[in-house]
Amino acid sequence: MRILLIGYGKMGHTIERLALAKGHEIVGALTVEDADQLATYTADQVDVAIEFTSPVAAVGNILTCFEKKIPVVVGTTGWLEHLSMVEEKCQQLQGTLFYASNFSVGVNLFFHFNEYVAQKMQHYPEYQVQVKEIHHVHKLDQPSGTAISIADGILKHYPQKQGWKNEVSQEQDVLSVVSKREGEVVGTHIVQYTSENDTFELHHIAHSREGFASGALLAAEWLPGRQGIYGMTDLLQL
């Protein structure tokens, strides 16, 4: 499979190494300096693109891939305020997008069980629920896309809550999402239910970027030949 890497930071390098080990071809690896070269690639040259850049660049890269009929796997977070426009453009241009806030198989199982637990725990108002996330100091967005996905999963089952705030809040109709940036932490996410009597937690700790990279590569292998917008629930059949 011919893969174009859009973004060539730590994640891009890890994906490249795993892809080459599986016999795939890297037809290009675009950095910030040569990002304008994306428009020179065509579907005849590229089977799938994998995009890990920045929230500012992601939407433009996605739309260019749609225009070029190149299926694109996107791991960049922090751009979802533009999602409705991207969905509209995807339909208009018959594009193909695979988006995930986190490509780790373990994290996506975490999402699944998070919703199951929230569905049960919302019947016990004595427990206060909170989301915590810790990432490395280089991460640009906060809360993380993963934490937002976790919060959204909880809010589905807590109709009395009006949304989330990225701070510690005592408001009963708000879900607190607490973010920390420390050292080189790959990614830690915690859902905490606390009562006067005890604390119950769901906990996920990423040990390396390889889990994210291998999941993104798995998505890239699965995506060609499809049209529309997909995510990890489609890939893992959750």
Give the C-alpha separation, 232 to 222, whole Å: 11
* Token duo for residue 75: 């791991």
Partnered with residue 34 across adjacent β-strands are none
Query: Is 139 marked active-site?
Result: yes
Give the C-alpha separation, 209 to 106, whole Å: 13
Catalytic residue among 135, 157, 189, 204: 135
Q: Which of 148, 150, 9 is nearest to 80 (CA)?
A: 148
Give yes or no for a cis peptide into 143 (omega within 30° of 0). yes
DSSP character at residue 78: S
**48-51/72-74 β-pairing:** parallel
Catalytic residue among 112, 139, 161, 165: 139
**187-194/163-165 β-pairing:** unpaired
Query: Is 165 marked active-site?
Result: no
Catalytic residues: 135, 139
